[in-house]
Structure 1
């Protein structure tokens, strides 16, 4: 289970500047907290959602890592707030606040806004690597192609690890082209306490990060329903959606306090449960304990940090495109009719504001990106009157 989650678990910190050893530690702690909140009834392992890559990267560039972590702590509290709403209003409150016409375009913006970053990394821009341009393209495209092949044609367990497969091939090519620096791995100690970073609370970073929780909340509900379909149990009723959301909130807030990325329910692990038919929560407990143990091995973090950015770039091309595709799929799956003026206006404004880089500058605080899109979509959904398609 840990191996399946490992690729994406460490990918988020490597792409956002956070520490991969800390990410392993907080994923383990977060999973244990989730089990506590859900009365040890839901067999999932927690890791970071790709939806957080863009906001964390922006936050780190804008306010630094400590302030961004403060925003992530607040994001965990939003999960807890949603849990409270479900507790007092029932499961349908999430659908009322965040219908598909809201969540679909927001998720599309998350993926599409990162497209230039993915392409730039795949081309080796500003990587500082001592290699010819054609070599960098070969590495990134080999990583991309491997990820595609494994995701589509691999069978059984191997279909669950396309990211790891892409990294292995890209890393091997990087070694062949002699662009990997092994010295930090050699110098790193075997045992090392993770480099924890503790949060600072700046209201600008907090206000920016809070709306980001919209997309992972919808992802969480889908994951809980999916794992319930696999195991034959309705986890939205027992232990209840309010408890699973609480578990995500506790895990994310705790991760922020230690310097790790947010920890939420994760699709790849659900795929592993589906494949192995292993529904025991004890397996997730052991996976969490192994993650905590591995976080204290210094050479693991040094090795992960030695992976050239161009390898990640190739994988990110597919990864961020797939995030946008999830948003499109939400609109299609729920039959959101874009010929209805209300729906068309919401989707259109969110896409243009998000991809075009609209900024509302209030002096000491600027509302932009995914945060702006989230607030815009929710407000428009609440104030625009419901419409049905009319035939002229």
Structure 2
């Protein structure tokens, strides 16, 4: 049933709750992996969505929440500089979107595609997925993400993680209607249930938590080293953002690149990400799952995202809810992440294939090869606060190689489509 601005408020509220349900699994999984507070992530997802709607004049029916692209740099920077410094880097990453939005406003929408063609973005996305694969495997086997400690016995962990993964796969492939859009939630439910059976769920935190409590907000600090970890990674989600805006436009039959304009959507995403860093949450991005739900339900009214944001903010203040999320054992998340992190890499491969990047050309081969090795191998340039490594370094390397190597062109068809 199509939804219009004249639909009754109660229907908009139900639709908003449904959209949050679809986004929920990925939304809370990202902060749980990185050691951030899921209640804060809920709050900043809701706040970010409201800021996005304000900037875009509530014209685009999208929901913004935790971005998986930032997992690797957040884990690395958090271990070296601490969470407050990471949050300062998140705020700086949001400013990258703001600057890109300003450049689009001046130079046109095709500017980003000339600066960041598929041969630059695709290997960065592949690197993000593959660099994270050891984290998923370690967690699936009951270890800490970095493999430093065995948190749950291996045999027990595998009996939890593999059924959680299998459930996620089956729901994604065989699920019908809205159920097909929540494979992560289904996997978490099965894994959590098995964790109770095997007695590996610690409910102490749930019992101790208050029903209503303030989310554990954390103030940012600004550290150049942490900022260098975070800022370059924003390049890949910027392209993901454009894809999301084009996708939702295809669903609703509207050209959001023109109205409200790509410069406004980038600005909205940037402000949402910087606001998340200000309060202690992860960077935000548009959620493809919610776009799928919009397509399935034909709920095109952006007001439903307002209600989804309100529900997210309300849940953020339920202390026992957040404690319950934090009690999810690592094998549950690890099993599901074996699919999700691999899916990120596949998105990068799909980008190369879809845009027919010719890897027999020396220029393209060099950019992709160096980017993958730097990103997955953990190359480090510099020392101390002036060091670039991993995903951050590979993003910079891809961008610089594309600008310096002769023979670069524009992302022809895509650039012309955005400018038309």
TM-score w.r.t. length of structure 1: 0.97
1:321 aligns with 2:339: no
In the TM superposition, what is the alpha-carbon distance from 1:182 to its structure 2 partner?
Answer: 1.2
Superposed CA offset, 1:78-111 (max 9, x none)? 0000000100000000100100000000000000
Question: Aligned pair count?
Answer: 388
Indicate the RMSD between aligned Cα atoms, in angstroms.
Answer: 1.3
Structure 2: how far apart are the matches of 1:358 and 1:184?
Answer: 39
What SS does structure 1 have at the residue aligned with 2:201?
coil
Question: Aligned in 2, Cα 1:374/1:160: closer, same or farther, shift over 3 Å?
Answer: same
- How far the C-alpha of 1:387 sits from its partner, in A, is 7.0
SS of 2:348's equivalent in the other structure is helix
For structure 2, the 5+ residue unaligned runs are 1-18, 410-420
The answer as to 2:397 corresponding to 1:379 is no
In structure 2, the partner of 1:85 is 103
Q: CA deviation at 1:183?
A: 1.9
Q: How does 1:340-355 map to 2 (within 5 A)?
A: 340-355=361-376
Give the counterpart of 2:34 among 16, 24, 35. Answer: 16
Change (3 A) 1:129 1:360: closer
Separation in 1, partners of 2:133, 2:55: 37
* Length-normalised TM-score, structure 2: 0.90
Describe the shift of the 1:124–1:238 C-alpha distance in structure 2 as closer, same or farther (beyond 3 A). Answer: same
Structure 2 CA distance for partners of 1:7 and 1:66, relative to 1, 3 Å: same
Distance 1:386 1:129, change over 3 A: closer
1:114 aligns with 2:132: yes
Segment of structure 1 superposing worse, 177-186 or 125-134? 125-134
Deviations 1:226-245 (A, max 9, x none): 00000000000000000000
Of residues 255, 258, 264, the one that matches 2:279 is 258
User: In structure 2, what is the equivalent of residue 165 of structure 1?
Assistant: 186
* Structure 1 residues 289-328: aligned runs within 5 Å: 289-328=310-349
**Rounded Cα–Cα distance in structure 1 between residues aligned with 2:151 and 2:125:** 36
Is residue 131–residue 177 contact of structure 1 (8 Å, CA) maintained in 2? no
The answer as to whether partners of 2:144 and 2:330 remain within 8 angstroms in 1 is: no
Contact 1:129 1:179 in 2 (8 A): no
Alpha carbons 1:107, 1:324 under 8 Å: kept: yes
Output aligned runs, 1:24-43, within 5 Å.
Answer: 24-43=42-61
